[in-house]
Amino acid sequence: MADFGSNEEVAVIGNTDLTSAESENNIINTMVERGTSLLNKMEINVAEAEKRTGKNTVNMQETYTVYLIETRPAENVPEGGTPAIPDSLWRRYSDFELLKTYLMVTYSYIVVPPLPEKRAEFVWHKLSADNLDPDFVERRRVGLENFLLRVASHPVLSNDKIFFHFLTEEKGWREAVLETGFQDKVDPRLKSLSAMLRVKNPDKRFTALKHYSDELNIVISQLLRVRARVADRLYGVYKVHGNYGRVFSEWSAIEKEMGDGLQSAGHHMDTYAASIDDILEEEEHYADQLKEYLFYTDAVRSVCRKHELIQYELEMAAQDLAHKKQQKEELVTGTVRVFSLKGMTSKLFGQESQEQRESRLAALEQSIQEGEEMVKEKNTECQDFVRTAWEDIERFKEQKNRDLREALISYAIMQISMCKKGIQVWSNAKECFNKM
Amino acid sequence: MSGHTVPADFSGHMLDLDEDEDLEVFSKNISLGDGNPMPNSPGSMVNQYRLEDDEEHQDANTKDLFITVDKPESHVTAIETFIMYRVTTKTTRGEFDSSEYEVRRRYQDFLWLRSRLEEIHPTLIVHPLPEKFVMKGMMDRFNNDFIETRRRALHRFLNKIAEHPILSFSEHFKVFLTAEDLTAHRKQGAGFLSRMGETMKAVANSVRGLKNRSEEFTEMQEYVEDFGYKISSLDRVAQRITKEQREYLDELKQYGPTYTQWAGFEEELGDPLKGMASCVELCSKETEEQVHHLSEVLIPTLHEYVLCTETLKAVMRRRDNIQAEFEAKNEALVSRKVDQETLQEEVDGLADRMEQANNALKGDWSYWKNGMRTDLKSAFISTAEKNVDYYEKCLAVWESFLMSQRVESSDQRDAEDVS
């Protein structure tokens, strides 16, 4: 079971008769690290979702959903007392997106938690792919809450002022975010994740991590696709059994001895057919857990990309410095090893004067000094980045292993529950057949 | 050997007749032709045919005729290729000269036997044979699944006959089980010309319509119609379920490899992921067995009873025709003044025939209904049992996975506490 510290109580896996709401809570609780900054001080909920209509940026009517964020100071409620009324405000999905983008740019060395999907993907046929479908909205609500809890429990992200503002003040938040000027920090090269930067000495750990992240992305996508197809088929199998119920019922009307047995067996077949709805709804939780880590791979890739960029700039700076030093050497010794226009013109039009040479040398020295500063700077930046990023990556890896293991375990629990239901129904049906 | 020989130039037609199972056969007299060792007086025949409602002549304790159909083998001649099945009989019955027989029979031979039985016992319910052709058109006669399905159905057919209190004593049945070469026997039997004649008469009579069918037989008719619809529906439902299960199985088979692939590049997660892969693969196998069971037990049984419906309808038609013939002759007797004596004799004969036919049907009806109930009940019970078994096995798989994960985590916790 996941371990949060020696004294923490953890969710029970022995109890396999959890309701879906309970197991959902368990999943969330085990996924979120407790005992860290913000979450120590306040409880956060995404309590509700509501439909709104309004004019959008191009002055057209649109319908969208807003989510109610409730916060309340975390405190022990005395016996018989009522907890304090929470503060609340409404946010829409695009607000969350802005927050996430801000965090990713501002903390480029952190694996920022992902948002739930914008549009329903990996859908099996019965499930609606419509964004306004209540089931989708509900699952998104849970996903958004999960996002907030993850940020609030992150050792670095939870301290961010903009994040705090997002949770506590409805007005003026967008302006505040834009005021931070985070957009200026966005390097266009970061956007094109596929563009290759020719980095000579990448940190091998980051290369491996990027490779892992790509593989994980592929395998989870595949798993989600297979799951959707399997769910589709299983739905078909269960539902067709409902036909037994109907035919048995009709048949029992023309039989004397067999009638009762058939009729009651038919009812069990109906129960069996109906049971698949709950089963597959629970399985959506599992799919959502997988999806979270699918989207996490994007965050990981971002961090790796940022490292590449910093490393690249460092190498460029070092290269630039080396080049300048080379030039100085040539100037001093008089040899031209490297082609330069100045060199050529001086050859053509005669040697330059001592004065000219000296002023050029001085300029070059200045440039070299600047270059050395730059390299030093970039080096520090790089080292800091690698250190802090790797710290967060280790944290992320542990979290991932814990969470995914929990997900697999709860999947097993779901399967067990499904099997038990199946045993029950068919044992009952057999009893009825015996009475035929 | 009994019966009369048929002139050589009819033999070709005889073969055609055997192939054509649609042709309905009407007997003239039960005592004609097959040397059936039964007494001729109507009274004793009525007694013979009246059966107790719940009594089966052959239950497990008194079963004295054991038949198996197996070893399908391809048989090639200059003209055709066909499958021969081995039919083995073990018996303690006195009527059989030996206690063990082994013969080879082809589908046509079964057809012959069945049509003979129907001919002689027009109002008994003779279990149907598997179909001649497969409707789907995708399988051919030499496809292994098709042959196996057919073999099972043929096996069931013979055993159903063997269990039947009257049919199992048929001389034709004995010949079928024992004669080395059946072709000689197949050429004998009631002349086909006479059968053609009967058919024409039957058509003419049925056009006239029945005067008064008794309540009992009307109810029977209605039941047969309703039952036919229900059993066809069930057959379709079961086929559909099997199809959906197969498609589910196909998708399920992709789970395992995906988890295995994932386990390949994980460290800590490698174990639980491999565990998942193994679980889904085991469940896959169980699903395969479940589908297999469906297609071996429930589907064939339901299908047989779909075919039974046709048999029942044919039996009801034949019974109606026998009554119609009697009524027709009776009318003639009432209206005509000449030939009163001969007509009277004929009418009496037909009256007896009708009574025998009715009683035969009544008796066999409850026998058949019991058999139907037993067979379908057992098939459904078996299916339910298999499903329980399936879920129990899957449950065990997932529970052991859960156990292994719990053990691992408590090991981890111990290790962390120590460090």
pLDDT, residue B409, reads: 64
Task: Kindly determine whether residue B405 and residue A413, on different chains, have CB atoms separated by under 8 Å.
Answer: no
Dist. CA A413–CA A19, nearest whole Å = 11
Q: Mean pLDDT, to the nearest integer, of B203-223?
A: 75
Task: Kindly determine whether residue B234 and residue A251, on different chains, have CB atoms separated by under 8 Å.
Answer: yes
Is the pLDDT at A265 greater than 90, yes or no? yes
Closest Cα of chain A to B80: distance in Å? 43
> pLDDT, tens digit, for every residue of B222-255?
999 999 999 999 999 999 999 999 999 999 999 9
pLDDT, residue B55, reads: 44
Q: Mean pLDDT, to the nearest integer, of A109-125?
A: 87
Secondary element (H or E) of residue A35: none
Q: CA distances (Å), B283 to each of A254, B252, B278, B395, in order? A: 39, 9, 9, 9
Closest Cα of chain A to B398: distance in Å? 6
DSSP code of residue B298: I
Are B45 and B38 a contacting pair, CB within 8 Å?
yes
> pLDDT, tens digit, for every residue of B268-324?
999 999 999 999 999 999 999 999 999 999 999 999 999 999 999 999 999 998 888
Are A42 and A74 a contacting pair, CB within 8 Å?
yes
Dist. CA A388–CA A206, nearest whole Å = 13
Range name among A73-87, A207-221, A275-289, B357-371 with the lowest pLDDT average: A73-87
> pLDDT, tens digit, for every residue of B49-107?
444 434 444 455 578 889 999 888 888 888 888 889 999 999 988 888 888 999 999 99
Q: How would residue A191 be classed by pLDDT, with cut points 50, 70 and 90?
A: low
Top mean pLDDT of A41-50, A247-256, A332-341 is at A247-256
Q: Where are the alpha helices (DSSP H) in B137-269?
A: 144-163, 171-178, 183-186, 192-208, 215-252, 255-263
- For A422, the closest of B387, B405, B409 (CB atoms) is B387
Closest Cα of chain B to A401: distance in Å? 6
Nearest to B311 by CA among B67, B117, B107: B117
- For A408, the closest of B226, B272, B417 (CB atoms) is B272
Q: Which two tokens stand for residue B52?
A: 């107790």
Dist. CA A364–CA A329, nearest whole Å = 10
Is the pLDDT at A139 greater than 60, yes or no? yes
Q: How does DSSP assign A96-158, residue by residue?
A: HHHHHHHHHHHTTTS-PPPPPPSS--S--TTS---TT-HHHHHHHHHHHHHHHHHHHTSTTGG
Dist. CA B379–CA B294, nearest whole Å = 9
pTM of the predicted structure, to 2 decimals: 0.79
pLDDT, residue B138, reads: 53
| Cβ-proximal residues to B368 (8 Å cutoff; 6+ apart), any chain | B125, B308, B312
Closest Cα of chain A to B2: distance in Å? 43
Domains of chain A, start order = 2-186 (3.30.1520.10), 231-435 (1.20.1270)
Top mean pLDDT of A121-135, A227-241, A341-355 is at A227-241
Question: How confident is the prediction for chain B on average, in pLDDT?
Answer: 80
Q: Mean pLDDT, to the nearest integer, of A274-293?
A: 93
Question: How confident is the prediction for chain A on average, in pLDDT?
Answer: 83
Is the pLDDT at B384 greater than 60, yes or no? yes
Closest Cα of chain A to B358: distance in Å? 22
Q: Mean pLDDT, to the nearest integer, of A201-206?
A: 87
Nearest to B127 by CA among B298, B372, B366: B372
Top mean pLDDT of A201-205, A307-311, B303-307 is at B303-307
**Which of B246, B287, B395 has the most A C-beta neighbours within 10 Å, making it the best mutation to test the interface with A?**
B395
pLDDT, residue B411, reads: 65
Closest Cα of chain A to B64: distance in Å? 28
Task: Kindly determine whether residue A226 and residue B227, on different chains, have CB atoms separated by under 8 Å.
Answer: no
pLDDT, residue B137, reads: 52
| Cβ-proximal residues to B70 (8 Å cutoff; 6+ apart), any chain | B85, B86, B88, B151, B155
Q: Which two tokens stand for residue B13?
A: 């037609």
> pLDDT, tens digit, for every residue of B105-164?
999 999 999 999 999 999 999 999 998 876 555 555 667 788 888 999 999 999 999 999
Q: Indicate the angle between helix axes B215-252 and B340-418, nearest 10 degrees.
A: 30
| Chain A residues close to B404, C-beta within 8 Å | none
Task: Kindly determine whether residue A3 and residue B226, on different chains, have CB atoms separated by under 8 Å.
Answer: no
Task: Kindly determine whether residue B272 and residue A423, on different chains, have CB atoms separated by under 8 Å.
Answer: no
Dist. CA A113–CA A220, nearest whole Å = 17
- β-bridge mates for residue B91, sequence order: B65
**Which of A235, A426, A427, A432 has the most B C-beta neighbours within 10 Å, making it the best mutation to test the interface with B?**
A426
Are B187 and B132 a contacting pair, CB within 8 Å?
no
- Fold entry, domain B61-184: PX Domain (3.30.1520)
A254 to chain B: closest CA residue = B223
How many helices and strands (H and E) does chain B possess? 12, 3
Q: How does DSSP assign B99-129, residue by residue?
A: SEEEEEEEHHHHHHHHHHHHHH-TTS-PPPP
Q: Residue B21: which region, alpha, beta or left (left: phi > 0; alpha: psi -120 to 50)?
A: alpha
| Chain B residues close to A216, C-beta within 8 Å | 262, 265
Q: Indicate the residue type of A313.
A: E
pLDDT, residue A52, reads: 80
> pLDDT, tens digit, for every residue of A364-395?
888 899 999 999 999 999 999 999 999 999 99
Q: What percent of chain A has pLDDT over 90?
A: 46
- β-bridge mates for residue A90, sequence order: A68
Q: List the domain boundaries for chain B.
A: 61-184, 196-419
ipTM over 0.85: no
A228 to chain B: closest CA residue = B251
**Which of B225, B242, B249, B258 has the most A C-beta neighbours within 10 Å, making it the best mutation to test the interface with A?**
B258
Q: What percent of chain B has pLDDT over 90?
A: 52
Is the CATH number 1.20.1270.60 carried by domain B196-419?
yes
Q: Indicate the residue type of A95.
A: D
| Chain B residues close to A232, C-beta within 8 Å | 251
| Chain B residues close to A227, C-beta within 8 Å | 255
